Amino acid sequence: MILFKLVLSTFVGLAIGLIHKDKNASRVFTLICVGATLATIISVEFFRLIDMPWHSDPARIAAQIISALGFICAGFIWISDNKKVKGLSQSAGLWYTAIIGMLIGASLSSLTWAVLIFVFLFYITTMNIAKILKNLIK
């Protein structure tokens, strides 16, 4: 089951990364998704594997994933020479890709699929709207 989760998160991260314009984005998105999945699996399974009588708090590591991503994503955002904010959508994409990875790691399959469908529909819709607006402006 763990191997399936890691393979699934690899494909999910790759698919989300391929949507972005940057050709290197697929590697980054894949690593973020797999890393979040792995950290969540460790968080959920740790005490089960060492057979300790107390239960783990999976929210602890999950909270640190979100904190770490906030730090990483802040590095993706910059202001260009012509005073435009760049990297915001890629940063947000990394953030929700990590959350999807956490959903996979926590075995929340129904929610994972619902979020994936929503994300891809959102991307398709916004790309089409952007094309329409670009044609209207010309």
pTM across the whole model: 0.85
Encoding tokens for residue 62?
Answer: 């999950």
CB 100 within 8 A of CB 77: no
Name the most confidently modeled range: 13-17, 21-25, 57-61, 130-134: 13-17
Q: Is the CA virtual torsion 20, 80, 82, 23 positive or negative?
A: negative
51-105 pLDDT, tens digit each? 666 666 767 888 899 899 988 888 888 888 898 888 888 899 999 999 999 999 9
Domain spans of the chain, in order of start: 2-137
92-134 pLDDT, tens digit each? 999 999 999 999 999 998 999 999 999 999 989 998 898 888 8
Which residues in the chain belong to E strands, given as ranges?
78-79, 85-86
CB 45 within 8 A of CB 35: no
- Predicted local distance difference test score (pLDDT) of residue 58: 67
